[in-house]
Amino acid sequence: MNPEDNGRRKVLKGALGGGVLAAGAATLPGFVLPALAQGERLVPFTDVPETFQVRAVRPNSTHYQDTRQIDSFLTDNDDFYLVQHYGQPEIDNDSWRLRITGMVDNELEFSLQDLMDRQAVEEVIGFECGGNGNRLFHGLIGNASWRGTALRSLLEEAGIQDGAKEIVFFGEDTATEEIRGREVEKAFARSLSIDDAMRDENMLAYSMNGEPLPHYHGKPVRLIVPGWYGVANVKWLTQIHVQDTRYMGRFMGRDYVTLKRSNVGGVERWVENSVTTMNLKSSIVRVTELGGNYEIMGFALSDGTPLRSVEIKIDDGPWQQAQMHPDNSRYSWKLFSMEWPNPSDGEHTIVSRVTDVDGNVQARAEDLPERVSYWEEFGQFPRTVRIG
Ligand SMILES: Nc1nc2c(c(=O)[nH]1)N[C@H]1C(S)=C(S)[C@@H](COP(=O)(O)O)O[C@H]1N2
Ligand SMILES: [Mo]
């Protein structure tokens, strides 16, 4: 399903202005957890149209979060965004098998139990859809603790042969695609170079926030490539194929392809690239008020490069340091917050920018290279709120 297809009806559980969310928010030194405390209220964003609403999860449908409602470091499994282009296939965990085929010394087959019997890894990994953006207030996002087994050890056991170039990850979900006037049955698939696939942190995940991987998130097993856009994380994984040619399927070669103006060795050209690692970005998503004290909160994402700072600018004021959530980790989303003492009544513009340890600074959208299509939206996102 294309993220642009999202309807704008129906209200998500605990929709804005609705019932009180979890009371009694814990306070940690230096960072107030964002759950609404008793008496706390959300300050309205004036850039969110009244008609913007998030609908409940429905079968075969995209789901995005209402990011104003982010109230915990880990996203609930049933509020973690959902994108699937070929529907949500039913899979029986007992008969499911994962095969490793192609240019390997040993073709291998695993049951779910086989994978669960291997050494387990667990890590908090947050990601967004490559099609996430301002129009959805960045709701195609989530952050979860994933448990699984390392991809690398499986590939080593299979033994990748000399001359292999790419590894293709196929999902169980298929659709009939019309390509040059011919209807063909295609599975969802994405590929990685051998080097990218062999990164230690890639995992085949069978558990999400302590639960078996939910149906909609790709049960029983999905690929997780930390630091990459969500499209790399193939759900309902059934086959891993090693080959010596590039894989040119729809989600590598046509969709999730960003077209932007680039400088190519001194020549300005329009360049297409497949969506890969996540760009450095941040966004303010939530402003709260409790007893006259205001707080601004947001998230940042990176490809795993550690962050140096997140700063917030209010109207024409200076950039001010935000505080980082103590649970932030290398591949998680990074929550940040800043107190906003005594804002004056009226409308204010607030914007965040993130800087990584290499000194890369999130640019203003208007300073980024010209780009066609909505993939990879990572410029600064000024928001407006009304006080009083
Ligand atoms: N098999 C399969 N895997 C898939 C997709 C899909 O359509 N089919 N969509 C991808 C895209 S575009 C995204 S953004 C993420 C979304 O993962 P989630 O629904 O668990 O958030 O899954 C990826 N993996
Ligand atoms: Mo996506």
What CATH number is associated with residue 208? 3.90.420.10
Give the pLDDT of residue 130: 98
Instruction: Tell me, yes or no, whether 265 and 149 share the same domain.
Output: yes
182 & 323 share domain: no
Confirm whether 34 is domain-assigned: yes
Whether 180 and 268 map to the same domain: the answer is yes
Same domain membership, residue 147 and residue 233: yes
As a whole number of angstroms, the distance between CA 338 and CA 265 comes to: 42
The residue ranking higher by pLDDT, 30 or 217, is: 217
Residue 242 near residue 102 (C-beta atoms within 8 A): yes
Say whether the peptide bond before residue 382 is cis (omega within 30 degrees of 0). Answer: no
Query: Looking at the structure, do residues 210 and 111 belong to the same domain, yes or no?
Result: yes
Which one of 5, 81, 84 would you pick to mutate in the ligand 1 pocket, going by the greatest count of ligand atoms within 8 A of its CB?
84
Q: Is residue 267 part of a domain?
A: yes
d(CA 118, CA 375) in angstroms, rounded, equals 36
Q: What is the mean pLDDT of residues 241-263?
A: 96
Q: Which residues pair with 30 in a beta bridge?
A: none
Q: Is the CB of 299 under 6 A from ligand 1?
A: no
* Residue 69 and residue 15 share a domain: yes
Whether ligand 1 lies within 6 angstroms of the CB of 233 is answered as yes
* pLDDT score for 32: 52
Q: Minimal CA–CA distance to 255: which of 58, 80, 83, 65?
A: 83
Same domain, yes or no: 245 and 175:
yes
Residue nearest to atom 5 of ligand 1 (CA): 84
Question: Which band of pLDDT confidence, cut at 50, 70 and 90, is reported for residue 36?
Answer: confident
Which ligand lies nearest to the CA atom of residue 232 in the structure?
Answer: 1
Q: Is 224 in the pocket of ligand 1 (CB under 6 A)?
A: no
Residues 42-65, mean pLDDT to the nearest whole number: 93
Calculate mean pLDDT across residues 219-244.
Answer: 98
**Number of separate domains in the chain:** 2
User: Is the pLDDT score of 114 beyond 90?
Assistant: yes
> Does residue 188 line the site of ligand 1, with CB under 6 A?
yes
Ligand 1, atom 19, lies closest to the CA of: 82
Residue 382 lies in a domain: yes
Of 213-222, 240-249, 271-280, 367-376, give the lowest mean pLDDT range.
367-376
Same domain flag for 319 and 381: yes
Residue 52 lies in a domain: yes
Closest ligand relative to 230 C-alpha: 1
The pairing of beta strand 27-28 with beta strand 141-150 = unpaired
Question: What separation in angstroms does the CA of 9 have from each of 50, 57, 193?
Answer: 11, 12, 41
In the structure, what pLDDT confidence band is assigned to residue 37 with cuts at 50, 70 and 90? confident
Its domain, for residue 112, covers 98-274
Q: What pLDDT is attached to residue 8?
A: 29
Mean pLDDT of the chain: 91
pLDDT at 35 over 70: no
Tokens 């046509």: give the residue.
254
Measured from the CB, is residue 235 less than 6 Å from ligand 1? yes
Same domain, 120 and 219: yes
In a domain, residue 81? The reply is no
Whole-angstrom Cα distance, residue 357 to residue 239?
Answer: 37
Residue 139 beta carbon below 6 angstroms from any ligand 1 atom: no
* Confidence tier at 31 by pLDDT (50, 70, 90): low
Give yes or no: residues 214 and 289 share one domain.
no
Predicted confidence band of residue 373 (pLDDT cuts 50, 70, 90): confident
Residue 84 falls within a domain, yes or no?
Answer: no
Residue 36: CATH number of its domain: 2.60.40.650
Residue ending a domain, among 214, 245, 274, is 274
Q: How far, in Å, CA of 267 to CA of 189, rounded? A: 33
Any atom of ligand 1 within 6 Å of the Cβ of 285? no
- 233, 258, 276, 375: residue to mutate for ligand 1 pocket, most atoms within 8 A of CB: 233
Please give the structure tokens belonging to residue 228. Answer: 């990459």
Q: Is the residue at 92 inside a domain?
A: no
Strand order through the sheet with 371-372:
267-274, 257-264, 371-372
Q: 31 alpha carbon to ligand 1 midpoint, in Å? A: 32
Mind listing the pLDDT tens digit for each residue in 138-166?
A: 999 999 999 999 999 999 999 999 999 99
pLDDT at 375 over 60: yes
Q: To the nearest whole percent, how much of the chain has pLDDT over 90?
A: 87
Positive or negative: CA dihedral 71, 75, 79, 82:
positive
* 89: in domain: no
Domain shared by 322 and 177, yes or no: no
Query: Which atom from ligand 1 is nearest to the alpha carbon of 129?
Result: 14
Whether the predicted pLDDT of 239 surpasses 60? yes
Calculate how far, in angstroms, residue 300's C-alpha sits from the geometric centre of ligand 1.
Answer: 21
Domain C-terminal end among 227, 250, 274: 274
Q: Which atom of ligand 1 is nearest to the CA of 82?
A: 19
Tell me, using a 6 A CB cutoff, whether residue 80 lines ligand 1. yes
Please indicate whether residue 83, judged by its CB atom, sits closer than 6 Å to ligand 1. yes
Measure 238 CA to ligand 2 centroid, in angstroms. Answer: 19
Asked whether residue 23 carries a pLDDT value surpassing 70, the answer given is no
C-alpha torsion 277→279→283→285, nearest 10: -10
Mean pLDDT of 51-58: 90
pLDDT at position 10, please? 28
- ∠ CA 160-117-112 to the nearest 5 degrees? 75
Mean pLDDT lowest among 35-44, 56-65, 113-122, 132-141: 35-44
Instruction: Determine if ligand 1 sits within 6 Å of the CB of residue 85.
Output: yes
pLDDT score of 58 more than 90:
yes
Distance from the CA of 62 to the center of ligand 2, in angstroms?
Answer: 10
Instruction: Verify that 292 and 263 share a domain, yes or no.
Output: no
* Best residue among 235, 251, 252, 374 to mutate for probing ligand 1, ranked by most atoms within 8 Å of CB: 235
Residues 31/328, Cβ–Cβ less than 8 Å: no
Confidence label for 384 from pLDDT (cuts 50, 70 and 90): very high
What pLDDT score was predicted for residue 274?
96
Distance 338 CA to ligand 2 centre (A): 30
The b-or-e profile of 97-131 (16+ CB within 10 A means b, else e) is: ebebbbbbeeebebebeebbeeeebebbbbbbbbb
Q: Is 251 in the pocket of ligand 1 (CB under 6 A)?
A: no
**pLDDT of 183 over the 50 cut:** yes
Q: Return the pLDDT at 33.
A: 54
16's CB contacts (< 8 A; 6+ apart) are 42, 66, 68, 69
Rounded to an integer, the average pLDDT of 304-315 is 98
Q: Does 230 contact ligand 1 (Cβ within 6 A)?
A: yes
Residue nearest to atom 7 of ligand 1 (CA): 84
Q: Which ligand is nearest to the CA of 233?
A: 1
Domain boundary among the residues 211, 243, 274 is at 274
The one-letter code for the residue type at 206 is: Y
Residue 34 confidence (pLDDT):
55
Do 125 and 208 meet the contact criterion of CB atoms below 8 Å apart? Answer: no
